[in-house]
Structure 1
Amino acid sequence: MPEMNYAKKLRGWSLSDAADSGQLLEVTCQFCRRTHRYFPHDLLKLTENVSLDRMASRFHCQRCDRSDYMIVKVVQLWGSEYGKLEVRRLVKVTTLKKPIWEDGVL
């Protein structure tokens, strides 16, 4: 039997579904081969609840500065991986204030 397209599997699964199931999201840049893992509940603080097939377009690689080579996989945690698997955690969110000026006549 042929393998199902992985993006079709992710279409029916959202960030909140992955967070409720205790899964991780593994984001990989296929250009420079850098991989990071994220908790879905951390990503829910930054974005709305979207399906996982759309999550790859929201990431940008910090090393090669590209966004068109990003892929997202769902990882189920096993007991032997606790304490060994590297995961990125959200520490804080900062807001940048940028003034916008307009020239007018007095």
Structure 2
Amino acid sequence: MPEMNYNKKLRGWSLRDAAEAGQLLEVTCQFCRTTYRFIPRDLLKLTKDVSLDRLASRFRCVRCNRGDYMSLKVVQIWGSETGKLTVRRLIRVDMVKKPVWEDGVL
């Protein structure tokens, strides 16, 4: 039987809990049907420990650049899936310096 309220279950589960349980986060764009999988430890380097029901709204689809159709699902890795799933890994974080100008009187 399908779960009736999946978001209510995600409210009690945090990013750190998913990392300690060895789970993957599967983020799907419902608009263009693109799926991305992330390791929770990589996401903890970018953000603080938040509940998983609020995390889906922080993602944007790379393909269609929309953020309002993103849904998140927690996936448990099984032994037969090891080496077959495509997972996005965090390589580095680039900081961008952007100048802000203000007009003033000399």
Normalising to structure 2: TM-score of the pair? 0.95
Which position in structure 1 is the counterpart of 2:63? 63
Confirm or deny that 1:74 pairs with 2:74. Answer: yes
Consecutive unaligned residues of structure 1, counting only runs of 5 or more, are none
Counting only pairs closer than 5 Å after superposition, residues 1-106 of structure 1 correspond to structure 2 as: 3-106=3-106
Query: What is the SS of the residue equivalent to 2:10?
Result: helix
Instruction: Give, in whole Å, the separation in 2 of the partners of 1:3 and 1:61.
Output: 26
Cα distance in 1 for partners of 2:40, 2:4 equals 24
Q: Which runs of 5+ in 2 are unaligned?
A: none
Task: Please provide the CA RMSD for this pair.
Answer: 1.3
How many angstroms does 1:2 deviate by?
7.9
**1:2 to 1:77, Cα distance in 2 relative to 1, 3 A:** closer
Per-residue deviation at 1:87?
0.5
Aligned-partner residue type, residue 16 of structure 2:
S
| Distance in 2 (alpha carbons) for counterparts of 1:30 and 1:104 | 47
| Alpha-carbon distance in structure 1 between the residues aligned to 2:60 and 2:36 | 12
Change (3 A) 1:7 1:79: same
State how many pairs are aligned. Answer: 106
